[in-house]
Amino acid sequence: EAGVVQSPRYKIIEKKQPVAFWCNPISGHNTLYWYLQNLGQGPELLIRYENEEAVDDSQLPKDRFSAERLKGVDSTLKIQPAELGDSAVYLCASSSAGGDNEQFFGPGTRLTVL
Amino acid sequence: GEDVEQSLFLSVREGDSSVINCTYTDSSSTYLYWYKQEPGAGLQLLTYIFSNMDMKQDQRLTVLLNKKDKHLSLRIADTQTGDSAIYFCAETPGSSNTGKLIFGQGTTLQVKP
């Protein structure tokens, strides 16, 4: 079974440019998460989807960040415009319905903003 | 508030036991987790414990939970060089499982041959 797939793995852009990250969750997982991981820190939740509905986006900086999961499967996370402080690893995770909430993580996209 | 704290670094010799500690603030956490992250990789769930348990053992891993002190520990027996990684403690805050995970800042485990 394929795991959570993310692309690109690495992205280098100049500040003020837009950038997008893509995530394909594990087949059958209806819950999808985007996390931000700064260097030396644990992941922090940006947004959580149940199917195509964003049920928790309280930590998403909505002035420059947006996300979508149109058909309840793949998801994209966009930053426009990017700032120097956005340099980090962006992790996607997915889980199925169930009590233990085991979240399966993708390898992440490492973003460098110059 | 919700907060999870871990020590930043642990160094052990191969074959020794490693104990990684974590404290959390939300007494109503339902599940507590241990994740492992190797360089350039995502997080891998190692084990988890339900809040009504004191201990869980899974092969070389032993998780101890002290709810009174809000303290969680992960013991790795017979630590191997392949165990070198960053270990994250995480909790699901609140009395219901909302899916949100709060992570600590991670403990880097260095295993010397």
Mean pLDDT computed over B69-97: 89
Mean pLDDT computed over B11-26: 95
Nearest to B99 among A31, A91, A104 (CB): A31
Q: Do A107 and B45 touch (CB under 8 A)?
A: no
Q: Give the mean pLDDT of chain A.
A: 92
Q: CB-based contact (8 Å) between A60 and chain B?
A: no
Mean pLDDT computed over B69-74: 95
Mean pLDDT computed over A15-36: 95
What DSSP assignment string belongs to A91-113?
EEEEE-SSTT-PPEE---EEEEE
Q: Which pLDDT tens digit goes with each residue over A34-44?
A: 999 999 899 99
Q: Percentage of chain A with pLDDT > 90?
A: 78
Q: Shortest Cα distance from A26 to chain B (angstroms)?
A: 14
What pLDDT is stored for residue A1 in this prediction?
A: 64
CA distance B8 to B73: 14
Q: Supply A113's token pair.
A: 């903003």
What pLDDT is stored for residue B45 in this prediction?
A: 92
Q: Which pLDDT tens digit goes with each residue over A78-91?
A: 999 999 999 999 99
Report chain B's terminal Cα–Cα distance, integer Å.
41
Q: Do B100 and A43 touch (CB under 8 A)?
A: no
